[in-house]
Amino acid sequence: MIYSIFTIPLVAVLKLLGVIRRQEYRFEDMRGKVVVVTGSSSGVGLCTAASLHASGATVIMACRSVERGERAKKEILEDWERRGGGGGGGGGRGGRGGGGSLVADVGLEPHHGGQLIVKELDTSDFDSVRSFTADMKESFSELHVLVNNAGTNGKDASTPQLSKQGRDYVFETNFVGHFLLTLCLEGMLRRARGRVVNLSSVMHHWGTKDVTRTLKSARRKNSYRDSKLAMLHFTAEISRRWKGDVAAIAVNPGFVSSDIWRGVSRQGVKGWLFDRFLSFLALCPAEGCATSVVAAAMQLNSKEEGKAGGGQASRKKEIQRTRHECLYLVPYVLPAGIRLPFEVMGPFMHPRWATPRLPAGEVEISSRFWEMCEEVTGMKG
């Protein structure tokens, strides 16, 4: 961490000198496309929804609380009007509440005509997931983008230990509920030749090596990091099982100052230091959503799913080198491809491809894990 702090000024100078360049991407025309963003009432999800709404998409804000979702919708619309209906820049430091826009500054062209629709969804509750997907199928025939963003780190005292199904609440909220959601929406995604964007994290590096073990216990202290590793296995397996119809991209939002830290105590000296730490070093939500927005809107090569419009050749070499097909975007510069410590908290720049840490035998593990998740969610057969 200290090492990465010292490198930030150096990388900033290299950026000014043109040695390190912003990675540019070609984007789809998002006007009229249907997008679901889970957990979009605050933080990264809120700014993801705001950014895609600004591009002209119809965004379904899938929120655990409809009341909070409606407040978030109002905030997005006020931000849209404040920026002159698409004019001006986006994604300044501060994001929500800091004087900056809610919209990520990734080069996605703004368009009028975007819609925001709030629907109830609790990814920890399988009944809620099935109710939401039934509603979606009645309302729309196709789904172009599914952003599996909702999550919790379990540090809030009000967070339950167990889900309604009697399993680990954090793992169920962050991953298993999204697995069920994605499979329930498979037909809509295939019809649109859509894509799935899965929120992972640098914490996946410390996840349980054999992810299939994560479904076997009710309560675990490592459930957050395991859920983020599970998202990578899920992304890789979607790319194989649904190849040609649905693309899948995993993203790391970075170290973001958002509501996910609301459970961390702000009392005393430690609380004061943590607040200063967030203020000086964390990304704002409008920066943290950049990887999600790029993954949702970038052009993909229709002949070879997963090869992105920007940086295609380098990513192809990465896939050959790592022997897996999990596409993974990070918000930081990784000098010489060094993942740690830069992936924890490196110099923020335009989203770029990186190599996730997946275990040897990933193909077999991911396939077995998928089948186990089908059994757990009742989607087997």
**The Cα angle at residue 310 between residues 232 and 255, in degrees rounded to 5:** 45
Residue 87's nearest CA partner among 106, 72, 114, 109 is 109
**What CA–CA distances, in Å, run from 100 to 64, 83, 116, 346?**
26, 10, 21, 21
Q: CA-to-CA distance for 361 and 96, rounded, in angstroms?
A: 42
Structure tokens at 154: 């379990």
Q: Which of 3, 25, 169, 224 is catalytic?
A: 224
Task: Please give the full DSSP string across 8-59, using - where no structure is assigned.
Answer: HHHHHHHHHTTSS-PPP--B---TT-EEEEETTTSHHHHHHHHHHHHTT-EE
DSSP state of 175: I
Identify the sign of the CA torsion 170, 171, 175, 179.
negative
Residue corresponding to tokens 């501060």:
94
Angle at Cα 147 formed by Cα 136 and Cα 256, nearest 5°? 140
332 catalytic, yes or no?
no
Assigned token pair, 223: 């459930």
User: CA 53, CA 77: separation in Å to the nearest integer?
Assistant: 9
3-state secondary structure of 324: coil
Tokens of 32: 């009229």
What is the bridge-based pairing of β-strands 327-332 and 348-353? antiparallel
Catalytic site positions: 224
